Amino acid sequence: MKQVFLVFLGGGLGSALRYVISKPLNLLLQNFFFGTFLVNIIGCLLIGVILGLSSKNNFLSANNTLFLATGFCGGFTTFSAFAFEKHSLLKNSELFHFSVYTIASVVAGVIAVAIGLWLSRLGD
């Protein structure tokens, strides 16, 4: 139960920080969500550092890693976990799986949003 609370707490903090950073920055450029882009890239950098430190001489405990990587980075951006998984596929020279996973995730995600928007309008 402690681990679930750590993920919950980290996720809440990450989500709040994502909102504070991305909300004003998304207004800067038309047709480009600069705040969201920046948060996604920062999240990728952070999850790389966190997971790198956690595997390096047990620098971070399992609970710290849960709080920071799964919780905070997961709340800050799920893109960070997506990027880390893609990196793992590249590291293992699984180019086919990397390509399929990347393309399928982006295409399916956009289609899922469109379907969700369509479903939300059914009662209108």
Residues 28, 33: Cα–Cα separation, whole Å: 8
Helix intervals (H) in 34-94: 34-55, 62-65, 74-76, 79-91
- Interacting residues of 29 by C-beta distance below 8 A, sequence separation 6+: none
The response to whether 74 counts as a known ligand-binding position is yes
The response to whether 65 counts as a known ligand-binding position is no
Whether 9 contacts 72, CB under 8 Å: no
Residues in binding site for Na(+): 74, 77
Residues in binding site: 74, 77
